[in-house]
Amino acid sequence: MIDVGALRALRAIADLGTMARAADELGFTPSAISQQIKRLEAQVGVRLVAPAGRRVVLTPAGTALVETAPEVLAALEKSVAAARSVDAGSPRGVVRIAAFSTGVRGIVAPALKAIRRRYPEIRVEVTELDPVPAVYAVESGNADLAMVHDADGVTVAVPPGLERSHLHTDVGDLAVPVGHPLADVGRPIRRSELGGCGWVTSPVGTVCHRWFERLFAESELQPDVVHSVDDFGTQMALVAAGDEVALIPRLARPRVPDGVVVRELHAAPRREVYTVWRQSAEADPALRAVLTELRGASASAVG
């Protein structure tokens, strides 16, 4: 019988090119991955990988085995899900979620409280991942559910065999120090009114900084970035301490400190949030229960 874990390891090597990267992706040591591949080669009876400089490549036999891996893994998952679906007891098992950090804070963490209360036999394991690697984690079997977003305005591609469902619309608001000219505006603030503001932003190259840049994409305004920090709590503290303003996603919003007010923006930047899972796992009661609780937490989130 083929070792399913070793089959996943072979597929990761095919995708990532080295045993070290495959080990990092799967949470093993390179030595453990090497042993899995050797065990799989013994089970199949042919060589599956070959060295190629610092990398390894799949032999033709290894490539043929990897090409059938999705069907094998999907069939096994359907069998497990079918068995769980006819069990009259409470949903049980492990559900591994890969999600971006503010999605964990704003949706996953609140959902965990309800899951623990209603489904004590479900264990949820959370890993912080950006959208593209989160989708890959689900496709490769290293996660059961991903939460992704399209903050750059481009919906993350979902490979065949995966299902995607819209979960939430996140909106950016303006954090303003009390006493700032925009603090007492009683209507959504227009982008044309942001001239002359100093800004606290996420570092250049991050998703949230690109979201910030969209504020000025069709404007002649050149934002004056004074502070560049990644943590939104720190951004709020800097707003409270000075004259700068910050664009804060609602899912990421920490406690608003004294000296700061949050104002709505006209035509504010938005990002759509989706859940992604394998179609072969749809019958799993534990996965369905977690999806339901995520939708409930999303409906209660600021949005």
- Please give the pLDDT value at position 44: 80
- Please give the pLDDT value at position 82: 66
- Positions of CATH 3.40.190.10 in the chain: 90-168+271-300, 170-270
- Please give the pLDDT value at position 288: 93
- Please give the pLDDT value at position 55: 77
- Please give the pLDDT value at position 191: 87
What are the start-end ranges of the H helices in the chain? Answer: 4-16, 19-26, 30-44, 60-85, 101-103, 109-118, 131-139, 207-213, 232-241, 285-300
- Please give the pLDDT value at position 65: 79
Global pTM exceeds 0.75? no
Q: Per DSSP, which regions of 129-257 are E strands? A: 145-149, 162-177, 198-201, 224-228, 245-249
- Please give the pLDDT value at position 208: 83
- Please give the pLDDT value at position 157: 83
Which superfamily is assigned to 90-168+271-300 in CATH?
Answer: Periplasmic binding protein-like II (3.40.190.10)
Measured CA to CA, the distance from residue 125 to residue 150 in angstroms comes to: 23
Q: Count how many Cα atoms sit within 13 Å of the Cα of residue 75 in the half-sphere of its side chain.
A: 6
Asked if 239 contacts 176 with a C-beta cutoff of 8 angstroms, the reply is yes
The neighbouring-strand residues paired with 247 are 174
Architecture of the domain made up of 4-84? Orthogonal Bundle (1.10)
- Classify 170-270 by CATH class: alpha beta
Going from the first residue of the chain to its last (303 residues), give the mean pLDDT of each consecutive group of 10, the final group possibly shorter: 75 80 78 84 83 78 78 68 64 93 92 94 94 87 91 76 93 93 90 90 86 80 90 94 92 91 91 92 91 93 64
- Positions of CATH 1.10.10.10 in the chain: 4-84
262: enclosing H helix or E strand: strand 260-263
